[in-house]
Amino acid sequence: MTEAKKLFIKTYGCQMNVYDSERMAESLGTKGYVATDTVEDADMVLINTCHIREKASEKLFSDLGRLRPAKEANPNLKVAVAGCVAQAEGAEILRRMPLVDLVVGPQSYHRLPEMEAKVQRGERAIDTEFPPEDKFDHLPERKAMRGPSAFLTVQEGCDKFCAFCVVPYTRGSEVSRPPERLLAEARNLAARGVRELTLLGQNVNAYRADGYGLARLIRELSQVEGILRLRYMTSHPNDMEDDLIAAHGDCPQLMPYLHLPVQSGSDRILKAMNRKHTAADYLRVLDRIRAARPDILLTSDFIVGFPGETDADFEATLALIRKVNYGMAYSFKYSARPGTPAAEKPDVNSDVADARLQELQALLGAQQRAGQQAMVGQEVDVLYEKAGRQPGQMVGKSQHLHAVHVDDPSGKVGELARVRITDAKSNSLGGRRVG
């Protein structure tokens, strides 16, 4: 019997990359690979990269440099780079890093088995094309899931061309998967114990396929036996259409949580970012969503120090945050992405941008802590995802995506439990099962 080969994957970035890493592991599973948690035990190390964050390329090359001792100790170790940095800089990665055997872009990873075979023959392999075939048609069936929650990619790419973003260049134009295939995959996942699906896309609410928009897809997925919860991310304010907003009010399986990035509260900066909406447009969308689902928890993304941002622009962002009162948000200091329009513009002074980021994060952190504290005494529904570190404890997510640690000695993974919140920490809640 042939001994299994070991695969170690390091994943950077968004939920889409987490999903991609799972599918790449499944694809390489057809070549006899099984997962390992350590580089030292691996026959292949795969780094799945993200190009959104600051100094993404430098972090990749630093990671690759740290693999040199492992490669020297085991010359048969194969090193692969995937994701958006691979897409953008594949040839440069191979040129600078002789230890890299394989480079694959996010639209080509269904070709990994053939690429791996090439590498095993002693050749280097690179594929950063946008192939004509649908990669999902060539990926193996999903394996047994590790928990009751799963990601389901429904849309890829983006046509918005925000001035700061590389996604249209690394992921390509917007493409939506056929609804019948998504429904089949959802039924397969439900049969394997999945109870919650998070629908993914670079611009997920731009989903359009065969007469379906995202709202219709959500409503049909809600009818899949075994699926108790649905979420989606990440969305663009301009694609929050009437039927999707209505679904938040009339589809019980759609959870009261929405991540809707705005990036800035300044109309001048939003225009420079090519966001194609104003702060008032964004706030009107939120008002309509809250009217449909009053208990919804809102989260967002913010960039500070975008080229040309003034003190007044920054104050407009703070004002929007105070008005919305977010449950949580991601915030970053602007960093230029090569090839994007904003990369050609002069930066805001770094010290000024750092100070703005600290002030913005302090405000967002205060809102998050207040929101968490307000949950104490309330009852929520928690989907148990795993056993906790403490005896008799289960860990799961509330309908608002809060992490909740629950005292429940009889709890089981995959169970949906009613829980009274008893305490709040900065990033999680504690509670006891009721009923």
Structure tokens at 109: 């990873």
Q: Tell me: pLDDT of 32 over 60.
A: yes
C-alpha distances out from residue 87 to 14, 107, 120, 180, 331, Å: 16, 9, 22, 29, 25
* Residue 228: other Cβ atoms inside 10 A: 19
pTM of the model: 0.86
The pLDDT, as a whole number, for residue 178 is 97
Q: Contact 379/420 with Cβ under 8 angstroms? A: yes
* Options 2.60.40.420, 3.40.50.1000, 3.40.50.12160, 3.30.479.10; CATH of 5-127: 3.40.50.12160
Alpha-carbon gap, residue 421 to 405, rounded angstroms = 9
Q: Contact 300/329 with Cβ under 8 angstroms? A: yes
Alpha-carbon gap, residue 179 to 223, rounded angstroms = 13
Among 4-13, 128-137, 244-253, 272-281, the least confident range = 128-137
Question: In sequence order, what E strands does 224-271 have?
Answer: 229-233, 257-259
Burial of 247 per CB tally in 10 Å (0-12, 13-18, 19+): buried
The pLDDT, as a whole number, for residue 145 is 67
5-127 and 288-374 share one CATH topology? Answer: no
Burial of 66 per CB tally in 10 Å (0-12, 13-18, 19+): exposed
Q: How far is CA 236 from the centre of its chain?
A: 14
Q: Tell me: pLDDT of 243 over 90.
A: yes
Structure tokens at 235: 């969305």
Structure tokens at 79: 């090193």
The pLDDT, as a whole number, for residue 144 is 60
Q: From 76, 250, 90, select the one nearest 170 (Cα to Cα).
A: 90
Alpha-carbon gap, residue 294 to 83, rounded angstroms = 38
* Residue 239: other Cβ atoms inside 10 A: 17
For the segment 250-276, the average pLDDT, to the nearest whole number, is: 98
What SS3 class is residue 330? strand
Q: How far is CA 38 from the centre of its chain?
A: 24
Among 28-32, 132-136, 207-211, 408-412, the least confident range = 132-136
DSSP H helices, 257-349, are: 267-272, 279-292, 311-324
Nearby residues of 184 by Cβ (< 8 Å), 6 or more positions away: none
- Of the CA atoms within 13 Å of residue 129, those in its CB half-sphere come to 10
* pLDDT grade for 53, boundaries at 50, 70 and 90: low
Structure tokens at 205: 């609410």
Alpha-carbon gap, residue 149 to 195, rounded angstroms = 6
Sequence ranges of the domains in the chain: 5-127, 141-255, 288-374, 379-433
The pLDDT, as a whole number, for residue 215 is 98
Write the class of the CATH domain 141-255: alpha beta
Q: Tell me: pLDDT of 55 over 80.
A: no
The pLDDT, as a whole number, for residue 54 is 61
For the segment 58-74, the average pLDDT, to the nearest whole number, is: 92
Exposure string of 114-137, with b = 16+ CB inside 10 Å and e = fewer, is ebbebbeeeeebbbbeeeeeebee
Structure tokens at 178: 């056929």
Alpha-carbon gap, residue 197 to 175, rounded angstroms = 20
Q: Look over the chain and give the mean of its residue pLDDT values, rounded to a whole number.
A: 94
Q: Tell me: pLDDT of 299 over 90.
A: yes
Higher pLDDT, 392 or 426: 392
Alpha-carbon gap, residue 181 to 260, rounded angstroms = 26
Q: Tell me: pLDDT of 1 over 50.
A: no
* Options 2.40.50.100, 3.40.50.300, 3.40.50.2000, 3.30.750.200; CATH of 288-374: 3.30.750.200
pLDDT tens digits, 88-140: 888 999 999 999 999 999 889 999 999 999 999 999 999 988 877 788 888 88
Fold that domain 379-433 belongs to in CATH: OB fold (Dihydrolipoamide Acetyltransferase, E2P) (2.40.50)
Alpha-carbon gap, residue 308 to 310, rounded angstroms = 6
Q: Contact 106/35 with Cβ under 8 angstroms? A: no
Q: Contact 250/294 with Cβ under 8 angstroms? A: no
pLDDT tens digits, 142-162: 776 678 999 999 999 999 999
Sequence letter at residue 337: R
- Of the CA atoms within 13 Å of residue 187, those in its CB half-sphere come to 9
Q: Tell me: pLDDT of 52 over 90.
A: no
